Chains A and B, each alone.
Chain A
Amino acid sequence: MNQAPRRITLDEWDNRYAELCAAGCRERWYGGPLRRHVADGDSRLLRLYIDNSAAALQLWNFLLTEEDRLYLAHNEGKRLVGTIKDLGTVPVMAYSLSNLVAFCPDGAWWLPCIMERNTKLLEIADSLGIDDSFCPVRAMLGAFVGEVHFPEPSLLTCSVGAVCDDCSAIAQRLAGLGFPIVWWEVPHRRRPDPREAAVSLPGGFVAPESQVALVKSELQRVRHALETCAGEPLTDQQFSAGIVRANHVRRLLDELRRLVFDANPCPLPALELLIAEMLAIHYCSDRDETIRVLEDLLEEVRRRVRDGLGVLPLDAVRIFWVNPVADLRVMNLLEDAGGRLCGSEYLFCHALLPIPEELPPLDAMARMVLADPMVGPATDRADYVCREIHRFGAEAVIISRIPGASHCALEGQMIADAVRKQFDIPTLEIEVPPIADAIEPGLRTRLEALVETARSRQR
């Protein structure tokens, strides 16, 4: 049943799927051939190279069936919680209660890529005055108004303050359209003043104790809203158990990332690793299944590393990637150009860090909120990127701008400046729209030039 690891097309996956079935591959209830998702509208799959393992099949099937899970949960009487601009905080709390299912409506930002023109989310956003000067998160507005892709949640929360203006503005539009939202404040993380009580955060940043207390107070409000929605209290015991499960997910991802970034040849394509990392945000609406999917993927990667197998050539140039891409295909292009991923900061790296289990749960989550590099100075995020470049030995850096995103206007330049100051490695800033086909020739050339430049320095 095992083939040499390879990135294959969807056509090749048809045969591969038949082989796996013939060899007795047992799938979960959401399993099946990847081809069926194209019939459901996920036509971008036709343009992607996908890892050929059974574990990757399971990962993709899990990702592409989230809508089904949400409708199923809704029909079973579970309460849905939409957590806007929330990268791994409120979902940890919500999944500590047995009858809540949390999801990130802003995750809809990938739908215009996955579904290409089969979804009209951006057109709906356009019709509501949220045009392409906003980042692709505007697809969320289309999803709410179009009443497709997820049932209307029983509760909507949205973090505001030190977050991107696009998401805050679009969430306000939602509120203006009659969707009630529980807003909670995330202050801009600042460096503590001299003699001010300070707290060390997971990941290495430091924040004033007063800011941790503020976030804790805000999360207490959110906790109350969740309890009201669930119709039951969230005890500290349940909350702590939820944190333990979240940390299990994060530990799996930590090992997965280390293996993928360190091993040569590279044991897993960048695209599958990106999707795996995304599961940390809200578990793709099923925490236990996320753990199962990640365990299988990790086992596959361990096996490949043990056997010295990989999906890319040994001389692939080690690239650090900043910001998620709106078009997933660009992760394929990186590898086509001769690069490989050896580090990433997709805006949610704090959701991959272990949550302190020794602290009262609300304290621990407040620290995680402030550990987000994005809520502090851009120089903090640049420092984090530099630390990771050093840790994984990157030979080049790609800063992927998100079209229209308020934080990308200046931040990319500041990160690039910091990288150039500390390392003698090339950096490239690109902008990736939800469908990058029109710019693919130019993008490919720029990626190839970066790889060649980095390779010339190896000699």
Chain B
Amino acid sequence: MNRMKTLGYCSPLIPPEWIAAHGFEPRWLPWAREPGLIVARPGRGLCPFAGQVADAVRAGVEVDAIVLTTTCDQMRRIADLVEREGTQPVFLANIPVTWETETSHDFYRDELQRLGRWLIALGGTAPTGSQLLSLCCRYEEARVALLAIRDGMTARQFSKAILALRSGDLATPISEDQSKKLLAGEGDQSKKLPSPACRTRQDGRGAGSEGEGIQLGIPLAILGGPLVSQDFDLFDLVEAAGGRVVLDATDAGPRTLPAALNRRQMDQDPLAALADAYFSAIPDVFRRPNDALYRWLAAEIDASGIRGILFRRYVWCDLWHAELFRLKEWSPVPLLEIDVAGAEGSAQCRTSGRLEAFLEMLR
């Protein structure tokens, strides 16, 4: 029996259900910092994450093909580098930066179609309308089910569950019946999936089940771009310092989940519905204008009782860095900047110290 081909990707704007619909197994690449590799050195102005992507590909990522996106200058050029080295087929998806015009929406949908054709050329299969519909519904059910239990999970658990879902793991921790009930009662389909956030009382205790995973601590949000495997250690550092991440607003967390699928549109044009759910709903720093990011963040801060924001940025990432000052002025809660330059040993000590000081100030 032939092994299903895998497609590695690391942008939340690439729908995993679209990959799966073409007979590929989507795999969210858990880029990890590899010691001793050379591209990731940030000294020459290279974003450490972009460098890690290049290093990981050079080190041999176990996927059959890779999709990268044009959402930042450095990733575009990493795609050039990876393509030049030729270890795996690479598809560079054009993700429009503008989003307020019909043209940009059409462009995004066309890029998904182009991705589909590329997957077929690599040995994938063209989905029928009903196959795509079915897969989209399964992914949506999984997302809804996951969101339904968000209150009972730590932000770290929740983000890891999202990442698992992006790798095609649709196993949900609740029953299928419960999931269907949730879907049946979800109301206005045009809005983003329910995103209740971890409701928090003033004492910092989670308002949901106080079962496994819910801990005490000052509730914080972490905001920024993509995380690599080791970056989840930051959640532990926060807890060790007396805080608790209740909102992961990085690329790993719920900020980058798509909207609920429009069922009427799904019946008529499933790809258009899928494209709308992703392109219309995911607020991100690279978008122009990027005000939707602020609107999303304001709603989440309001809903979750966050008392501080950890602003995590990669050194040389201009897109996030440029927002720091604006965020500081805008944020209703204090904000701590954590810059990440790579895998240097002293970084964790420095970050711990800064976190402790920040949390002391919040107490």
Contact = CB atoms under 8 A, between A and B. Distances in A.
Interface of A: 128-130, 133-134, 158, 160-166, 168-173, 175-176, 181, 183-185, 187-188, 190, 193, 210, 214, 217-218, 221, 377-379, 401, 403-411, 414
B297 interface: no
B74 A165 contact: yes
Contacts of A172: 288-290, 322-323
B318 A134 contact: yes
A128 B315 contact: no
B226 to A, nearest CB: 15
Nearest to B103: A217
A129 B77 contact: no
A375 to B, nearest CB: 9
B84 A379 contact: yes
A305 B328 CA distance: 59
B192 interface: no
Given A169-B322, A187-B107, A414 B74 contact: no
Contact of A214 (B107, B315, B318): B107
A133 B316 contact: yes
B2 interface: no
Instruction: Label chain B's interface by main secondary structure.
Output: helix
A188 B325 contact: no
B98 A185 contact: yes
A186 to B, nearest CB: 9
B271 to A, nearest CB: 16
Given A172-B290, A187-B96, 19 more contacts: A130-B322, A133-B315, A134-B322, A161-B98, A162-B76, A165-B318, A173-B325, A184-B98, A187-B70, A187-B107, A190-B94, A210-B110, A378-B77, A378-B80, A406-B47, A406-B73, A406-B316, A409-B50, A411-B77
Q: Which of A181, A183, A193 has the most CB of B within 10 A?
A: A183
Contacts of A217: 103
A168 B84 contact: no
Contacts of A378: 77, 80-81
Contacts of A377: 79-80, 83
Given A172-B288, A210-B110, A409-B45, A183 B322 contact: no
30 contacts: A129-B322, A129-B325, A130-B325, A134-B321, A134-B322, A158-B288, A160-B98, A168-B97, A168-B286, A169-B319, A169-B322, A170-B322, A183-B289, A185-B97, A187-B107, A188-B76, A190-B92, A193-B117, A210-B110, A214-B107, A378-B81, A379-B80, A379-B83, A403-B45, A404-B45, A406-B72, A406-B316, A409-B77, A410-B74, A414-B84
Nearest to A417: B84
B96 A185 contact: yes
Interface residues of B, number: 46
Contact of A165 (B46, B73, B289, B325): B73
A292 B46 CA distance: 43
Contacts of A163: 73
Given A218-B103, A409-B316, A164 B73 contact: yes
B318 A406 contact: yes
A377 to B, nearest CB: 5
B81 A414 contact: yes
B350 interface: no
Nearest to A164: B73
Nearest to B330: A176
Given A134-B318, A169-B321, A185-B107, A409 B97 contact: no
Contacts of B83: 377, 379
Nearest to A411: B77
B326 interface: yes
B191 interface: no
B78 interface: yes
Interface of B: 44-47, 50, 70, 72-74, 76-81, 83-84, 92, 94, 96-98, 101, 103-104, 107, 110, 114, 117-118, 286, 288-290, 315-319, 321-326, 328
B101 A160 contact: no
A366 B280 CA distance: 26
Nearest to B328: A129
A61 B278 CA distance: 53
Contact of B92 (A134, A188, A193): A188
A162 B107 CA distance: 14
B357 to A, nearest CB: 20
Given A161-B96, A214-B107, A221-B101, A409 B321 contact: no
B319 A168 contact: yes
A293 B198 CA distance: 66
B221 to A, nearest CB: 20
Q: Which of A169, A183, A190, A214 has the most CB of B within 10 A?
A: A169
Nearest to A130: B322
Contacts of A169: 318-319, 321-323
Nearest to B72: A165
B354 to A, nearest CB: 18
Given A218-B103, A378-B77, A379-B84, A409 B46 contact: yes
Given A165-B318, A183-B289, A214-B107, A407 B326 contact: no
B45 A408 contact: yes
A390 B314 CA distance: 39
A188 B94 contact: yes
Contacts of A160: 97-98, 288
Contacts of A410: 46, 74, 77-78, 80-81
A406 B76 CA distance: 11
Nearest to A213: B103
Contacts of A409: 44-47, 50, 74, 77, 316
Q: Which of A187, A403, A409 has the most CB of B within 10 A?
A: A409
A443 B101 CA distance: 48
Contacts of B73: 163-165, 406-407
Contacts of A170: 322
B290 A161 contact: no
CB-based closest 5 A-B pairs: A129-B325, A169-B322, A409-B46, A406-B73, A165-B318
Given A188-B70, A406-B72, A409-B44, A173 B326 contact: yes
Contacts of A379: 80, 83-84
Contacts of A162: 70, 76
Contacts of B103: 185, 214, 217-218
Contacts of B74: 165, 406, 409-410
A161 B99 CA distance: 11
B57 to A, nearest CB: 14
Contacts of A134: 318, 321-322
Contact of B45 (A187, A210, A218, A406): A406
A193 B101 CA distance: 26
Contacts of B46: 409-410
A406 B324 CA distance: 18
Nearest to B321: A133
Nearest to A134: B318
Contact of B97 (A183, A403, A406): A183
Q: Which of B288, B322, B324 has the most CB of A within 10 A?
A: B322
Nearest to B104: A185
Contacts of B289: 172, 175, 181, 183
